[in-house]
Amino acid sequence: MKLTFGTDGWRGVIADEFTFDNVRRVAQAHAAALLSTPGAARSAVVAHDTRFLGAAFATTAAQTLAQAGLDVTLLQGPTPTPALSHAVRRGGHAGGVMITASHNPGQYQGYKLKGPYGGSATPALVQEVESRIDAPAGAQAAGTLGEGDARAAYLGALAGLVDTDVIRASGLPVYHDAMHGAAGGWIEQFTREHLGVEFHGVRQSPDPQFGGVNPEPIPSNLGVTAQAMREVRGPAFAMVTDGDADRIGAVLAGGGYFNSHQIFAVLLHHLAQRGRRGRVVRTVSTSGIIERLAQHHGLEVVQTPVGFKYITDHFLEGERDPALQVLIGGEESGGIGVQGHVPERDGLLNGLLLQETVAASGLSLDEQFRAIEQLVDFRHHYDRIDLHLPGPVNRADLMDDVAQTAQLGAHRVQQVITLDGVKLAFDGGYGMVRASGTEPVVRLYVEAPTPGEVQGILEQLRTLTLRHLR
């Protein structure tokens, strides 16, 4: 069976593609790639989240890596992806393995590759691992296999990145929805040990089925959280982490949703107001308010294709050259990384930093964002549709057709960006179409000044897309 790798590694349906034998094939190839890297350490770290057979698959991967010649540390218990990444970097290891399918449905599992710097593996490493599957293994002395725990070191690192004093002084309660994923109990422990304020947990217990929803912090999966926050008043909010806790979402007091673009903007503004400097890296599908806000603060903006690996590249570039350091990098799906930490998405850190913004300002997240809109004269409304089509589309013709679109609703297109899919930018928003390369899914993204315009442009792009069904 040929295994298809994505941007972060390999995913598949459990017992169909994702089997113990296939995990061994991937781990053997991964070990060969790491051991062939000149100057690299001969060690790795392996962890898992709360999915079906996570511990068993992680053990299989760890044993295979060790038998191939690596000294392997197997982290015990469900572990957030950013905690694994922190352990890899802190320990000077050659790389890491995270057994997770992130925000995918519960029937999926995955093998995420992490680089020695504590972030997503480079495309070159992913391609090398893929190319080495089933290749003859070279003779190597077996390595060692031991157990470890990343929790204390990781939570200690978070304490050095968050103003715990201002949160403690505010008395603001912490609400956290773990979506039955890997972060269950971690924010609670951090709150108890470092903040000393009330903690309220939602969906903290591990559940391979994630309570019957996909573990992705988007409105359709947050009914339980909205219900929990409905009677809450004041500036409090619930931070929400996805299945492996590298993505962040938020639900406001009263039950309203606070999207990833808004989170990105609030964090950027907060860091810049405190004198932090550096480049702002945004994927092409993020809100135009990020560009305007960065310009307001005199910060350079870099736009990348969709995928956090591109943001990681810029973080690493900034580590090599201080003049190019990154202050914050983010993507539309809720993955955000910040300066001074691993070059990785970290839902736990971002949730705590949001808590810091509210504690420091006394304003709710919504109030902070409305102030940003006024500051940069921008009105943000956004929605996205994933069109699961009955068959493949003619991608080339679709993208050509989209690129020729001169008008979106009442707005004249001012710029056509083909960095990833086709993005049609206009004053105050954009429409964007991206076709999946591995499945019959086309993603439509729209930002516009009013909710009605968002829905109208989405319908326009949906109609255009359906013309290209084969």
pLDDT surpasses 70 at 229? yes
pLDDT for position 331: 95
Find where tokens 């929990």 sit: 228
pLDDT surpasses 60 at 232? yes
Q: Per-residue pLDDT averaged across 2-24, rounded?
A: 92
pTM over 0.85: yes
Q: Per-residue pLDDT averaged across 438-467, rounded?
A: 92
Percentage with pLDDT > 70 across the chain: 99
233-254: pLDDT as tens digits:
999 999 999 999 999 999 999 9
> How sure is the predictor about 437, in pLDDT bands with cuts at 50, 70 and 90?
low
Question: By three-state DSSP, how is residue 356 classified?
Answer: helix
| Residues 243 and 102 sit within 8 Å (Cβ to Cβ) | yes
Q: Do the bridges between strand 415-417 and strand 422-426 make them parallel or antiparallel, or are there none, so unpaired?
A: antiparallel
pLDDT for position 438: 55
CATH 1.10.10.10 fits 154-258, yes or no: no
pLDDT for position 448: 97
334-377: pLDDT as tens digits:
999 999 999 999 999 999 999 999 999 999 999 999 999 999 99
CATH 3.30.310.50 fits 381-466, yes or no: yes
Q: Per-residue pLDDT averaged across 17-41, rounded?
A: 95
| Encoded tokens for 419 | 């960095």
Residue 53: HSE in the Cβ half-sphere, 13 Å Cα cutoff: 16
> How sure is the predictor about 439, in pLDDT bands with cuts at 50, 70 and 90?
low
pLDDT for position 404: 95
| Encoded tokens for 58 | 């992680």
106-149: pLDDT as tens digits:
999 999 999 999 999 988 889 999 999 998 877 788 999 999 99
178-201: pLDDT as tens digits:
999 999 999 999 999 999 999 999
29-40: pLDDT as tens digits:
999 999 998 888
Domains 9-149 and 154-258 share a fold: yes
> How sure is the predictor about 153, in pLDDT bands with cuts at 50, 70 and 90?
very high
Where on the phi/psi map is residue 102: left (φ > 0), alpha (ψ -120 to 50), or beta?
left
E-strand stretches of 63-206:
71-75, 95-99, 108-114, 145-148, 174-177, 199-202
- According to CATH, the topology of domain 260-346 is Alpha-D-Glucose-1,6-Bisphosphate; Chain A, domain 3 (3.40.120)
Residues 6 or more apart from 131 whose CB is under 8 A from it? Answer: 29
Q: Per-residue pLDDT averaged across 292-312, rounded?
A: 95
409-422: pLDDT as tens digits:
999 999 999 999 99
Where on the phi/psi map is residue 344: left (φ > 0), alpha (ψ -120 to 50), or beta?
beta
pLDDT for position 469: 76
Poorest-pLDDT segment among 96-100, 123-127, 269-273, 423-427: 123-127
Cα separation, 320 vs 326, in Å, equals 11
Cα separation, 329 vs 116, in Å, equals 19
Helices (H), 13-103: 20-35, 54-67, 81-91
Q: Kindly list the domain boundaries of the chain, sorted by start residue.
A: 9-149, 154-258, 260-346, 381-466
> Which residue would you say has higher pLDDT here, 12 or 123?
12
Cα separation, 23 vs 444, in Å, equals 34
pLDDT for position 435: 86
pLDDT for position 216: 94
Q: Do the bridges between strand 257-258 and strand 422-426 make them parallel or antiparallel, or are there none, so unpaired?
A: unpaired
CA end-to-end distance (rounded Å), the chain: 27
Please state the CATH superfamily assignment of the domain spanning residues 9-149 in this structure. Alpha-D-Glucose-1,6-Bisphosphate, subunit A, domain 3 (3.40.120.10)
pLDDT surpasses 80 at 45? yes
| Residues 264 and 240 sit within 8 Å (Cβ to Cβ) | no
| Encoded tokens for 149 | 């725990």
Residues 6 or more apart from 68 whose CB is under 8 A from it? Answer: 27, 28, 31, 32, 35, 137, 140, 142, 143
Q: Per-residue pLDDT averaged across 395-416, rounded?
A: 94
